[in-house]
């Protein structure tokens, strides 16, 4: 018997998780003695999501329970899926606006906006970590909260058995394979990277076709993957994920994704409350492929349904959390060793690693100088706004935790 708790389960987008689980017959078959707890703060949304889950899975699980009580939800949990948005979409909108003011990319995981997000969530992650250590110390924690590697690292350092997961590496492989008429699920591939930034270093079919080389010969690869993919393949000989184009082109982007998501979420929540038995039509407007391409495969691996051999964010060396391919089955998880990429791609990976370590140091020390150093090494932060960006992040931290010690409790935690 397993207790699976979804923290942030009142988000209407959780419907896509329920759909992904329901579509995996092998996984559903293993859930007959599992208790699913959906935890959230929005009672109306929570009940609607729970009713939807009951419609699709109610006769296949031991129980499905909505709960606004975080401690009760965590108590005795075997698996915790963490998808809470600390501070809600309003906080994300503030992070986006801050990054835009600094002349950077308004992203929740990279650049100054990502670092501000990590600082803003620090207390909430500390609080949640302490609760899990007390209530479910042996739980397998699957983290979806961005910035992924920093949040996952914080939880691991707090003693949790945590991994971070992101669908981007496999999503890139899938698009590459499909562009060449190959089956992505039988494609043999390697990957190296961290926090959304990495490279597909090998991709081939079981018949020996090198998909990277085939893609280099294609004049439609940009259309199949993303702008610049063909150029990057020629430059590196390996394929970066789409986030590399942010570093390469450095085009100004407007904030506004949080506002868009908030409007979409409201419409989906209304549709779900009106008819909790029907999947809201507007769910199709948001790509939630991390559920079928990451969360469900990891759940299947952990529950010994089938081996999982894609990527997770886990400790690599000297405390650094990076994206690595693993072999996960039941309680056993081992890192799959691959030959390290060389050449220009290695230079970029070394840069990513150094920048990540500086961000980790800043989050631990929480001083103006450590924040400034992390931003100074970040190519997404313009030189002319470095001081202003570091000042705002440090001031935001000081305002949020005026009496901060090494273990503050965030008493203003907002989760879906």
Please write the tens of the pLDDT for every residue from 194-236.
Answer: 888 999 999 999 999 999 999 999 988 999 999 999 999 999 9
Radius of gyration of the chain (CA): 21
Question: How far is 83 from 138, CA to CA, in rounded Å?
Answer: 19
pLDDT at 342 over 50: yes
Average pLDDT of span 289-304: 96
Question: How far is 242 from 226, CA to CA, in rounded Å?
Answer: 6
Closest listed residue to residue 111, CA positions, set 396, 399, 376, 324: 376
pLDDT at 405 over 50: no
Question: How far is 255 from 92, CA to CA, in rounded Å?
Answer: 10
pLDDT at 52 over 70: yes
pLDDT of residue 401: 79
How many Cα atoms sit within 13 Å of 4 on the Cβ side?
Answer: 24
Domains, the chain, in order of start with CATH, read: 2-164+259-285 (3.40.50.720)
- Torsion region of 105: left, alpha or beta (phi above 0 gives left; psi -120 to 50 gives alpha): beta
pLDDT at 416 over 60: no
* CA separation, residue 251 to residues 106, 224, 297, 380 (Å): 11, 21, 35, 10
Closest listed residue to residue 244, CA positions, set 212, 309, 198, 297: 198
User: Strands 197-204, 188-194: parallel, antiparallel or unpaired by DSSP?
Assistant: antiparallel
pLDDT of residue 257: 86
pLDDT of residue 1: 87
Question: How far is 206 from 183, CA to CA, in rounded Å?
Answer: 10
Are 96 and 106 contacting, i.e. CB atoms less than 8 angstroms apart? yes
CB neighbour list of residue 365: distance below 8 Å, 6 or more residues apart: none
End-to-end alpha carbon distance in the chain: 27
Among 47-56, 64-73, 241-250, name the one with the lowest average pLDDT: 241-250
Q: How many CB atoms lie within 10 A of CB 146?
A: 22
pLDDT of residue 108: 86
Among 18-22, 76-80, 182-186, 315-319, name the one with the lowest average pLDDT: 315-319
pLDDT at 411 over 50: no
pLDDT of residue 253: 60
pLDDT of residue 252: 55
pLDDT of residue 256: 82
pLDDT one-digit tens code per residue, 239-282: 999 989 888 876 656 668 889 999 999 999 999 999 999 999 99
pLDDT at 56 over 80: yes
pLDDT of residue 285: 95
pLDDT at 351 over 50: yes
pLDDT one-digit tens code per residue, 322-333: 999 999 999 999
Closest listed residue to residue 164, CA positions, set 81, 73, 79: 81
Average pLDDT of span 317-323: 86
The H or E element containing residue 311 is strand 311-317
How many Cα atoms sit within 13 Å of 271 on the Cβ side?
Answer: 15
pLDDT of residue 140: 98
Q: Token digits for 375?
A: 């931003």
Are 400 and 120 contacting, i.e. CB atoms less than 8 angstroms apart? yes
Q: Token digits for 212?
A: 């990277």
Are 393 and 116 contacting, i.e. CB atoms less than 8 angstroms apart? yes
pLDDT of residue 254: 65
Q: Token digits for 67?
A: 């709960």
Residues in the chain: 416
Question: How far is 148 from 136, CA to CA, in rounded Å?
Answer: 22
pLDDT one-digit tens code per residue, 71-100: 999 999 999 999 999 988 898 999 999 999
Closest listed residue to residue 244, CA positions, set 285, 286, 283, 197: 197
Closest listed residue to residue 116, CA positions, set 103, 100, 98: 98
pLDDT above 70 as % of the chain: 95
pLDDT of residue 408: 37
Query: pLDDT-derived band of residue 403, with 50, 70 and 90 as boundaries?
Result: low
pLDDT of residue 123: 92
Mean predicted lDDT score pLDDT of the chain: 92
Are 166 and 208 contacting, i.e. CB atoms less than 8 angstroms apart? no
């Amino acid at each position: 018997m397993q207790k699976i708790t979804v923290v942030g389960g009142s988000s209407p987008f959780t419907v896509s998780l329920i759909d992904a689980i329901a579509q995996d017959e092998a996984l559903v078959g293993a859930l007959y003695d599992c208790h699913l707890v959906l935890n959230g703060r929005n009672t109306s949304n929570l009940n609607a999501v729970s009713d939807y889950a009951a419609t699709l899975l109610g006769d296949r699980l031991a129980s499905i329970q909505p709960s606004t009580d975080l401690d009760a939800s965590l108590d005795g949990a075997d698996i915790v899926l963490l998808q809470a948005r600390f501070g809600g979409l309003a906080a994300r909108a503030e992070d986006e606006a801050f990054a835009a003011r600094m002349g950077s990319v308004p992203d929740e995981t990279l650049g100054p906006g990502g670092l501000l997000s990590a600082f803003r969530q620090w207390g909430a992650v500390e609080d949640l970590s302490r609760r899990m250590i007390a209530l479910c110390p042996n739980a397998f924690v699957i983290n979806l909260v961005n910035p992924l590697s920093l949040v996952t690292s914080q939880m691991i350092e707090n003693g949790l058995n945590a991994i971070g997961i992101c669908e981007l590496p496999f999503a890139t492989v899938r698009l590459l394979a499909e562009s060449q008429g190959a089956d992505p699920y039988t494609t043999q591939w390697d990957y190296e990277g961290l926090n959304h930034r990495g490279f597909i270093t090998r991709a081939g079919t079981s018949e020996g076709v090198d998909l990277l080389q085939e893609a280099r010969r294609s004049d439609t690869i940009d259309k199949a993957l993303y702008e610049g993919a063909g150029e990057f393949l020629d430059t590196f000989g390996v394929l970066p994920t789409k986030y590399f184009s942010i570093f390469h082109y450095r085009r100004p982007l407007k904030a506004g994704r949080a506002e868009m998501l908030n409007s979409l979420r409201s419409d989906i929540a209304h549709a779900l409350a009106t008819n909790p038995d029907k999947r809201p039509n507007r769910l199709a407007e948001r790509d939630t492929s991390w559920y079928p391409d990451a969360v469900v495969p990891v759940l299947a691996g952990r529950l010994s349904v089938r081996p999982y051999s894609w990527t997770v964010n886990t400790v690599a060396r000297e405390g650094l959390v990076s994206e690595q391919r693993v072999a996960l089955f039941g309680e056993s998880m081992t890192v799959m060793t691959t030959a390290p990429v060389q050449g220009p791609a290695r230079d970029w990976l070394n840069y990513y690693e150094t920048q990540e370590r500086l961000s980790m140091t800043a989050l631990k020390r929480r001083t103006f100088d450590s924040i400034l150093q992390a931003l100074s090494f970040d190519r997404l932060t313009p030189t002319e706004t470095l001081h202003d960006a570091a000042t705002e992040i440090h001031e935001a931290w000081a305002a949020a935790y005026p009496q901060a010690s090494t273990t503050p409790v965030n008493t203003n935690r907002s989760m879906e």
